[in-house]
Structure 1
Amino acid sequence: MANDRTKIRHAGRSGTASAKPPAFLNNLRGVADWKQAEQWLASRTIEDIECITPDLAGVPRGKMMPSKKFTSETSLALPSALFRKTISGEYPEETGDFRYDPHDGDLKLMPDLSTLSVVPWESDPTAQVICDLVGADGKDIAYTPRNVLKRVVAAYAKKGWKPVVAPELEFYLVARNTDPDYPLQPPTGRSGRPISGGQAYSIAGVNEFDELIDDIYHFCEAQGLEIDTLIHEEGPSQLEINLRHGDPIELADQVFLMKRSIREAALKHDMYATFMAKPMQDEAGNALHIHQSVVDIKTGRNIFTSADGSETELFRAFVGGMQHFVPKALVMMAPYVNSYRRLAPEMACPVNTAWGYDNRTTAFRIPTSGPDARRVENRLPSSDSNPYLAIAASLACGYLGMVHGLVPTSPTAETANEGVIDLPRGLLEAVALLEAERAFDDVLGREFTATFSGVKRGEFETFMRVISPWEREFLLLNV
């Protein structure tokens, strides 16, 4: 009997020692189901979880709760009016096709567990998860940003296509500024001096903010966000982060979380990070360049490239769609009054619908690459745009070009960002173009374009109530 007990005891020890923790517990980002979520949270002793979703501006909205309540699959909801609010927190008047839900009913938050990750800057163990929104009937809410992008990706899938994107995100580091009447100033780097402009690709410029950049990397790594490269851009203390190419929804999620992470890292070092399109007068603006290609779902082949390595008709049609439709969807890529200050001649920014090979002065650049990596870079979106909506708009324009067989102009090898501006020059003009283009109804959804346009008109009216320094300087005593 004693020998039997010994055998049983040894067997128990052996079984315990050989058991390995499930692989998903090592995931930095995402789990498969609620059971895995519960174990993932417990293994990290997570106390709280933030259930967040991007509003029309890309601002995280949502609710925080204890992790135990989250894993009980508690129903969460937000009022529908949140997606009709301006960036200044106001609710605009109903205009055009823009209407409020008369009941301001609830929209249910549906956590996407593939986005579960830690919140690395919080002092208490905290996690976050991005949520989609559905109505009481369980159907997707068509005018919410993540669902708009999903709709565009689904349109591609119906044709047997899968879009691939790689965003490039620019931002400025600026000294703390608590009074909006004062212009922004570059921060002081490790040298003790403010950074000047003209530092494009300067390693010394990047090294000025070594500790802050280390925190950006650490925050992103902890969340499973993949930074490809980081450079110093043209403006003073202006940086650019390039992300690896991949699925549009996943990349939009990464930009959404990365903007939040960069802001938190900057605050930790007593400065601000801003994604305003034009934060400093006479300096370069902040862009959100989007590299785009399309693959065949069945074969994985880049549909922009023929078997012999040459360009396909679909590639040309995609470019034609960008040229024809992007000006009409520009408000989704340049969503504020300030956005149009960036779209000015001779400021390292395109002001046209031209395209060309490795030509950075065009709106649509074809980077030098091998045939399998043939892609179109949209250089018009600004960093102030909601990444879900900027990517959705850009892909929708290329999609419409392909399904309608649009023919592009000839590529240009000339400098194209000087002289005449071929784009809307202001917010209201851009809004009118979006509303008038009915080709967007199917791919973006009429409910979305009406809602977005109404909010943008409201923001313009808010802006018009503000008297600017230019008006005080030139009109006060001269008119």
Structure 2
Amino acid sequence: MKRTGFIERHNLWTEVQKEASQQIEAVVKERDLLLIRVAWSDQHGIVRSKSLLPQAFFSALENGMQISTGTFLFDTGSALVFNPFVSGSGLEMPEMTGAPNLVAVPDPHTFRIVPWAKRTGSILCDQYFQNGQAMPFSSRGVLRQSLAELHQRGLEHIVGLEVEWYLAKLSDPAIALTDVGTSGKPGQPPKVSAVKRSFQYLLESHNPEIHDLLLILAENLVEMGLPLRSVENEGGVGQFEFTFDPIPGLQAADTMTMFRMATKQICRQQGYIASFMCRPRLNGSSSNGWHLHQSLIHRTTGENAFMSANPSMLMSDLGMHFVGGILKHAHAACVFTTPTINGYKRFRPLSLAPDRAGWGLENRGAMIRLQGSFDDPNTHIENRVGEPAANPYLYIASQLICGLDGIDCQLDPGSPTEEPYATENPALPQSLLEAISYLSQSELFRQKMGQQFINFIIKMKQSEISRFLEAVADQSPDEYSKQVTDWEQREYFELF
């Protein structure tokens, strides 16, 4: 008698996922795939993976894949934050003592052929303990939990991605042993040169300089099944913006994860560096943002729950309360929307990035930009606060948590502003340290994400901040808070 596998035993898949897994096995055999990258997103939104040969992968579709807890113990610079060899690993979690294995369970809905790598596939995973309980530090799990609460209300989260990033020509990968750094001390960033000249926003005449690479990227992303919508030449030297069609929240987070992974790998393969760092230390660079377009729809009818049925209202009451929640909790949510030290250098007045928590109608200076009007089925909000290095699952989950609290408490977002940089709306945090102080005081996030998870994230970020402050000890706060430091370029440029 066949023994029941881990996934079946703990009822971790829907019937649709089970059927999809059988189709995946057929595709692996038909396409003669040799390696399948079984991947997951860590707490920073960075993709980790193991490559399995077909038989091992087929086994993972029944029993999951054994992975170490190690990727959950380090900050962005690979500095050890939690000691696994003390009781509870400093997390008050007996399950983490001794760095035991977790079980990474593939989600069949995320399987893709990797078009830029021969005979290779990829699939994303959720993490569980050996007893089948969900791993509380799984960021994909955090989003799934938030979506489950939303679905119980009969609503679906629809998300459109608008992502800015930098492309540079690789001159020197800086991989000499003297350059690569050590744990907690990232080495020299790669040396790069510009791919085009000047700061000309949407300049058509520059397209020949970068068309071939952008075509390769577009071809690969479309072949992967990602809903790419547009490719734009932004204002910075080598800055681009890719947008994607609106899709459900979990699919959007998976898409962002795969998009960053694919873009970085394809560009590197072609002799370039793609960086999703918010404000890289490159001459002539402006900040990268990740604008999150979002709305709610009724699951039974498909109607837009943000659309106003009242000619005198810009948006429905539900939509207004959703915005009210996002604005009320914006400061604590910054740890998830803007999780790097570098990202706070984007919050500047008159910069097309917000510097305070407010909203406006079709206003790109406001944190929340409302697009749509009475009886417009495309009515939605655009949150402009995020950076492209953010963990997609935590960014999107934070929006749901804040927005639903706004609905429950019937929060009023106040009046829209026409002068977003001159209003009395509360200023956004000026540093990651300030954002952490708001998160540590947030009862809402502790309730919705769990005390363990919030403590975990705060300690992760405190480690990052401590290393940064040590590195800039010889500078004044006025210097390192305004200028992009060498530490930031080492820490984030190649990683994100």
For Structure 1 versus Structure 2, the TM-score category normalised by the shorter chain is 0.7 to 0.9
| Alignment partner, residue 390 of structure 1 | 395
State the distance in 1 between where 2:255 and 2:422 align.
Answer: 30
Counterpart secondary structure, 1:371:
coil
Unaligned runs of 5+ in 2: 1-16, 180-186, 481-496
Is the CA contact 2:356–2:421 (under 8 Å) kept in the aligned structure 1? yes
- Secondary structure of the equivalent of 1:395? helix
Superposed, 1:53-72 pairs within 5 Å as 53-72=40-59
Contact 2:357 2:426 in 1 (8 A): no
TM-aligned CA deviation for residue 306 of structure 1: 4.0
Residue number among 100, 120, 129 corresponding to 2:123 in the alignment:
129
Counterparts of 1:183 and 1:344 in 2: how far apart (Å)?
A: 28
The residue aligned with 1:355 is: 359
Deviation at 1:399, TM superposition (A): 1.4
1:331-353 per-position Cα deviation (integer Å, ceiling 9, x unaligned): 11111111111222233211111
Q: Deviations over 1:424-462 (max 9, x none)?
A: 111111112112101123332222222111111111112
Preserved contact between residue 50 and residue 65 of structure 1 (Cα < 8 Å):
yes
Q: How does 1:186-225 map to 2 (within 5 A)?
A: 186-188=193-195, 194-197=196-199, 199-225=200-226
Which residues of 2 match residues 15-26 of structure 1 at below 5 A? none
Structure 1 distance, partners of 2:317, 2:331, is 22
Task: Assess, with a 3 A threshold, how the Cα gap between structure 1 residues 35 and 474 changes in structure 2: closer, same or farther.
Answer: closer
Q: How many angstroms apart in 2 are the aligned matches of 1:450 and 1:474?
A: 30
| Residue pairs, 1:267-346, within 5 angstroms | 267-280=268-281, 283-308=285-310, 310=313, 311-346=315-350
- Tell me the TM-score normalised to structure 1 length: 0.85
**Counterpart for residue 20 of structure 1:** none
Rounded Cα–Cα distance in structure 2 between residues aligned with 1:277 and 1:469: 24
Tell me by how many angstroms 1:54 deviates.
0.3
Distance 1:49 1:93, change over 3 A: closer
Task: With the length of structure 2 as denominator, give the TM-score of the two structures.
Answer: 0.82
**1:468–1:264: structure 2 CA closer, same or farther, 3 Å change rule?**
farther
Q: Report the Cα offset of residue 469 of structure 1.
A: 9.2
Q: Deviations over 1:383-432 (max 9, x none)?
A: 11111111111222111111111111210012427999701111111112
Offset of residue 464 of structure 1: 2.2
Identity %: 26
CA contact (8 A) 2:39 2:49 kept: yes
Number of the residue aligned with 1:456: 461
State the alpha-carbon separation in 2 of the partners of residues 253 and 204 from structure 1.
Answer: 34
* Aligned residue among 38, 60, 69 for 1:51: 38
* Cα distance in 2 between the residues matched to 1:468 and 1:210: 43
Shift of 1:368: 4.0
CA deviations on 1:200-236 (whole Å, 9 max, x unpaired) are: 2223334421111011112112211110111111111
Secondary structure in 2 matching 1:361? coil
Where 2:242 maps in the other structure, the secondary structure is strand
Shift in alpha-carbon separation, 1:303–1:474, aligned structure 2, 3 A: closer
Q: Is the 8 A contact 2:163 2:388 kept in 1?
A: yes
Q: Is the contact between residue 372 and residue 380 of structure 2 (CA under 8 Å) also seen in structure 1?
A: no
Q: 1:320–1:420: structure 2 CA closer, same or farther, 3 Å change rule?
A: closer
Secondary structure of 1:170's partner? strand
Q: What is the deviation of 1:470?
A: 5.9
Aligned partners of 1:285, 1:268: CA distance in 2, in Å?
25
1:85 aligns with 2:87: no
1: CA distance, partners of 2:269 / 2:204: 22
| CA distance in structure 2 between the partners assigned to 1:102 and 1:405 by the alignment | 43
**Pair 1:182–1:394, CA change in 2 (3 A):** same
Q: Which residue number corresponds to residue 377 of structure 2?
A: 372
* C-alpha distance after superposition, 1:73-132 (max 9, x if no partner): 35412222422310111122589x955622333221111011111112213x01010011
Q: Once the two structures are superposed, what CA deviation does each residue of 1:175-208 show, in whole Å capped at 9, x if it has no partner?
A: 32537668976523xxxxx4222x2222333442
The 5-angstrom pairing of residues 179-190 of structure 1 reads 186-188=193-195
Alignment match, 1:9: none
When structure 1 is superposed on structure 2, of 301-310 and 330-339 the one drifting more is 301-310
Structure with higher Rg: it is 1
Question: Unmatched 5+ residue regions in structure 1?
Answer: 1-29, 189-193
Three-state SS of the structure 1 residue aligned to 2:37 is: strand
Cα distance change, pair 90–417 in 1 and its aligned pair in 2 (3 A): farther
Residue 107 of structure 2 corresponds to 112
Q: Is the Cα contact below 8 Å between 1:84 and 1:451 reproduced in 2?
A: no
Structure 2 counterpart of 1:108, which letter? V
Whether the 8 Å CA contact 1:148–1:448 is kept in 2: the answer is no
